[in-house]
Amino acid sequence: MENLDVMVLRSLRDWRLAGQRALLATVIRTWGSSPRPVGSIMALCETGAVVGSVSGGCIEDDLIHQFTQAYTSAGAHSSNAKIPSGPPQHIKYGISADEAHRFGLPCGGTLELLLEFDPDPQLLEELVMSLSKGMLMQRTTNIQSGAVTLTPTHTPSELLIDDQQLVNIFGPEYRMLLIGAGQLTEYLATMALFNGFAVTVCDPREEYTGAWSVPHVTLTKEMPDDVVLSFNPDRRSCVIALTHDPKLDDLALLEALKSESFYIGAIGSRRNNESRRQRMIEHFEQTEASLAPLRGPIGIYIGSKTPAEIAVSIMAEVLAIKNGVHLPKDMDVAHAKDIQQIQHNNTDELVFCVKKN
């Protein structure tokens, strides 16, 4: 699956190029709990088709009822509703307890949307094409007139809004480069695709690539360090080594450490990861400081044993780092296993004392 924002903008572009009326809804403010964060977008076609989300579904139904002639999920039909022309409109949901309950908002939750009507299809085409080329784009909407300007940018930032304009940054897809094409990689690649990542898998070993079965993944048989260079990781990229083979993993990780990747990690036990760090320090002139971005053992501790569970653990950690969430130390695999070992030793000691007495 592609990045959700790109999917929304692509659908909106297609509707507008086909001559259909449509609107773009953006979450611009929230108070209290909110089902979707600021900057979330959805597109609504005059047919009632919706792509994207600004809530759990109830607000989408209300927008369909207000602005289209489609049936809502409750079966009601709004015969006179249509998408209007003119400048953007503000709309709030969840101001009262009754509205919060009606629209499925958490208790006390309120959100405000900006609705843009019939966005220019040519500007949407330009935006989608720029994003498909890996560019970071700033979209500025004049709130008084609805006029839109597009500007390439190199700096991601939060949504900005005042009385004059809405400024939203749209970036290319998040990317994941996986070294190794084994079973764990298949599970992790599948989860990454469903979370909107563009996934590349690299493995020069024919016995692994020959059995690869996950669609919509870029598969390459080049040497991993060369692939990292051509992949050119940026701050929306992660690189994860999964082969357990130092000849494949180490050089790729060293190249990744030169990049701005938001996540760099390698599979392996605490002992294997410590050995990897020692090799890099002794043979590749690395230091503890230069290796600080390298994660290992990777994943959050959920007691995982199977490849599928380990993939869940890794994907959860990747998403947490991507979303700026600080994970408690007791969720770290190495720390959690240390605690588990201490508890196990204490239990053995207690049993020994009981038997001795």
For 131-154, write each residue's pLDDT tens digit.
887 788 999 999 999 999 999 998
154 Rama sector, left if φ>0, alpha if ψ -120 to 50, beta otherwise? alpha
Please report the pLDDT score of residue 73 as a whole number: 46
Of 119, 219, 213, 142, which Cα lies nearest the Cα of 177?
Answer: 219
Distance CA 348, CA 136 (A): 56
Q: Model confidence at 174, in pLDDT bands (50, 70, 90)? A: confident
Whether the Cβ atoms of residue 318 and residue 264 lie closer than 8 Å to each other: no
Of 300, 255, 246, 235, which Cα lies nearest the Cα of 273?
Answer: 246
Q: In what order do the strands lie in the sheet with 197-202?
A: 218-220, 197-202, 174-179, 237-241, 263-266, 294-295
Please report the pLDDT score of residue 139 as a whole number: 97
Res. 75: pLDDT tops 80: no
For 212-255, write each residue's pLDDT tens digit.
989 989 999 999 999 999 999 988 899 999 999 999 999 999 99
Helix axes 121-132, 4-17, angle to 10 degrees: 140
Cα distances (Å, whole numbers) of residue 80 to 44, 77, 84, 114, 144 = 17, 9, 11, 22, 26
Partners of 238 in the β-ladder: 176, 263
Distance CA 120, CA 125 (A): 9
Q: Which tokens belong to 241? A: 């080594």
Rg (CA), the chain: 25
Res. 98: pLDDT tops 80: no
Of 166, 165, 168, 164, which Cα lies nearest the Cα of 156?
Answer: 168
Of 247, 240, 261, 215, which Cα lies nearest the Cα of 310?
Answer: 240
SS3 56: coil
Res. 101: pLDDT tops 80: no
Whether the Cβ atoms of residue 225 and residue 251 lie closer than 8 Å to each other: yes
Domains along the chain with CATH numbers: 4-170 (no CATH), 174-335 (3.40.50.720)
Burial-class residue 227 by CB neighbours within 10 Å (0-12, 13-18, 19+).
buried
Of 248, 244, 245, which Cα lies nearest the Cα of 223?
Answer: 248
Res. 162: pLDDT tops 80: yes
Please compute the mean of the pLDDT values over residues 48-53 and round it to a whole number.
93
Please compute the mean of the pLDDT values over residues 83-101 and round it to a whole number.
80
DSSP state of 135: -
Please report the pLDDT score of residue 344 as a whole number: 52
Distance CA 130, CA 136 (A): 8
Whether the Cβ atoms of residue 276 and residue 268 lie closer than 8 Å to each other: yes
Please report the pLDDT score of residue 340 as a whole number: 56
Q: C-alpha angle 257/174/272, rounded to 5°?
A: 40
List all residues 6 or more positions away from 344 whose beta carbon is below 8 Å from its beta carbon: none
Please compute the mean of the pLDDT values over residues 48-58 and round it to a whole number.
86
Res. 303: pLDDT tops 70: yes
DSSP state of 71: B
Whether the Cβ atoms of residue 105 and residue 34 lie closer than 8 Å to each other: yes
Residue tagged 């409109």 (tokens): 89
Res. 348: pLDDT tops 70: no
